[in-house]
């Protein structure tokens, strides 16, 4: 009742320190902005935690912090990105995503309309994926001690018996598949941040991959491992798998889909698409006999229609990831020692 008498001025208001102080202003923000966006029976429990029904299957738990800059970019924003990223971490283990949590670290001065836009986008992304944001937390830091909004999410899912995806199951001879073209997310965020205008505006590929994964699991192909090539790009993801599995990899550059706009931007910026973050793509490794069947299942899903077999797993005591170039010649694909694109997710 207290809350109804002080409506938030979302059009003109800004985050103040009081919005994180545990008093009325915080309760007002939570009720009028977050609870309205995320509305669901668990949030309506009004506790600091959500009581959820028992699940009969193994559980999968993940978490992510999101510090992307700028907050809004072509193809998404920090809110939808947080939801997609967390769902994808669950999906890569073959889990069905069920529940999300969201912690917000807000900088004093943040326009409330930006926060509302982000919360609404998060809620829409969660609803589209069939998951609920069941509990949350809000903290406020002084101007100059944060950067607009940071969002930390965690995700809980469940995984069917018999599904066991792990790099340790990868073996020489296996095929490496990629669900689509690489580099869009990183280039989209970078071009927004640096105000680069490319002829073809590049949109982030940010998307929830759990339905694609479900189709892949249903295909019957013997999947070894799934990973989403986010920070560090395809190069880091493949090197990580190679190291964990104790194998090498041999890729075909010509088989790796890259949009012409991304290729041009990378050339202009001196970047390699292999190192650029993706937020709606996955790498799958499966038994070679099942690769065509898996590829077909991927291509039948909208998020996998440009899927390709990009290489194979080989024996290699050095765990090198190598690539045969479009003009022949072979090079080692290393992961980067340091930073290429900061604040990309």
The residues in 11-50 that bind a second copy, with binding defined as CB under 8 A, are 16-18, 20-27, 45-50
In terms of CB distance, is 269 or 336 closer to a second copy? 336
In terms of CB distance, is 141 or 269 closer to a second copy? 141
Q: Do you find a cis peptide bond into 70, omega within 30 degrees of 0?
A: yes
Calpha distance 250→318 (Å, rounded): 13
Given 75, 79, 136, 248, the residue binding a second copy (CB under 8 A) = 136
Q: What mask of x and - would describe binding to a second copy in positions 277 to 316, judged by CB under 8 A?
A: x---------------------------------------
Give me 256's structure tokens: 């790796």
74 forms part of the interface with a second copy (CB under 8 A): no
Provide CB contacts within 8 A for 107, sequence distance 6+. 15, 140, 141, 142, 143, 144, 145, 146, 147, 148, 149
Calpha distance 88→294 (Å, rounded): 19
Given 10, 124, 167, 258, the residue binding a second copy (CB under 8 A) = 167
Q: How many CB atoms are located within 10 Å of the residue 148 CB? A: 21
CB-based contact 90:130 (threshold 8 Å): no
Q: Name the one range near a second copy by CB under 8 A: 86-94, 215-223, 247-255, 322-330.
A: 86-94
Q: Name the one range near a second copy by CB under 8 A: 114-122, 154-162, 252-260, 287-295.
A: 154-162
Q: Name the one range near a second copy by CB under 8 A: 29-37, 130-138, 197-205, 282-290.
A: 130-138
Q: Name the one range near a second copy by CB under 8 A: 10-18, 71-79, 262-270, 325-333.
A: 10-18
Give me 161's structure tokens: 């018996």
Calpha distance 94→164 (Å, rounded): 8
96 forms part of the interface with a second copy (CB under 8 A): no
Which single residue is written with the structure tokens 């800059």? 69
Calpha distance 26→113 (Å, rounded): 16
In terms of CB distance, is 165 or 294 closer to a second copy? 165
Shortest Å distance, C-beta 198 to a second copy: 23
Shortest Å distance, C-beta 13 to a second copy: 14
What are the residues facing 72 on neighbouring strands?
Answer: 77
Q: Label residue 343 left, alpha or beta by phi (over 0 means left) and psi (-120 to 50 means alpha).
A: left
How many positions of this chain bind a second copy (CB under 8 A)? 92
**Stretch 210-249 residues interacting with a second copy (CB under 8 A):** 227-228, 230-233, 236, 240, 243-244
In terms of CB distance, is 85 or 309 closer to a second copy? 85
In terms of CB distance, is 16 or 290 closer to a second copy? 16
Give me 32's structure tokens: 């009028």
Radius of gyration for the alpha carbons in the chain, expressed in angstroms and rounded: 21
Shortest Å distance, C-beta 158 to a second copy: 8
Calpha distance 53→32 (Å, rounded): 27
């Amino acid at each position: 009742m207290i809350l109804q008498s002080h409506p938030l001025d979302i059009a003109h208001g800004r985050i103040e320190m009081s919005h994180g102080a545990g008093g009325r202003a915080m309760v007002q923000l939570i009720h009028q902005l977050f609870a309205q966006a995320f509305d669901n029976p668990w949030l309506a429990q009004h506790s600091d935690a959500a009581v959820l029904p028992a699940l009969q299957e193994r559980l999968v738990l993940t978490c992510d912090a999101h510090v992307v800059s700028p907050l809004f970019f072509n193809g998404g924003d920090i809110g939808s990105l947080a939801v997609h990223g967390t769902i994808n971490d669950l999906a890569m283990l073959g889990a069905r995503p069920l529940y999300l949590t969201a912690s917000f670290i807000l900088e004093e001065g943040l326009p409330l309309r930006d926060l509302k836009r982000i919360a609404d986008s998060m809620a829409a992304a969660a609803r589209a994926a069939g998951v609920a944001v069941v509990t949350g937390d809000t903290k406020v830091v002084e101007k100059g001690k944060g950067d607009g909004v940071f969002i930390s999410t965690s995700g809980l899912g469940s995984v069917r018996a018999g599904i066991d995806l792990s790099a340790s199951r990868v073996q020489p001879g296996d095929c490496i598949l990629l669900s689509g073209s690489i580099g869009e997310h990183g280039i989209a965020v970078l071009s927004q941040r640096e105000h680069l205008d490319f002829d073809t505006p590049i949109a982030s590929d940010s998307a929830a991959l759990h339905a694609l994964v479900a189709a892949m699991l249903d295909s019957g192909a013997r999947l070894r491992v799934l990973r989403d090539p986010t920070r560090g790009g395809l190069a880091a993801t493949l090197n990580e798998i190679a190291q964990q599995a104790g194998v090498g990899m041999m890729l075909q550059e010509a088989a790796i889909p890259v949009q012409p706009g991304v290729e041009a931007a990378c050339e202009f910026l001196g970047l390699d698409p292999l190192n650029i973050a993706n937020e709606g793509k996955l790498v799958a490794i499966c038994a070679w006999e099942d690769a065509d069947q898996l590829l077909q299942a991927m291509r039948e899903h909208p998020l996998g229609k440009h899927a390709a077999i990009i290489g194979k797993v080989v024996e290699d005591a050095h765990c090198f990831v190598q690539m045969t170039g479009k003009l022949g010649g072979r090079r080692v694909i290393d992961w980067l020692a340091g930073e290429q694109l900061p604040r990309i997710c």
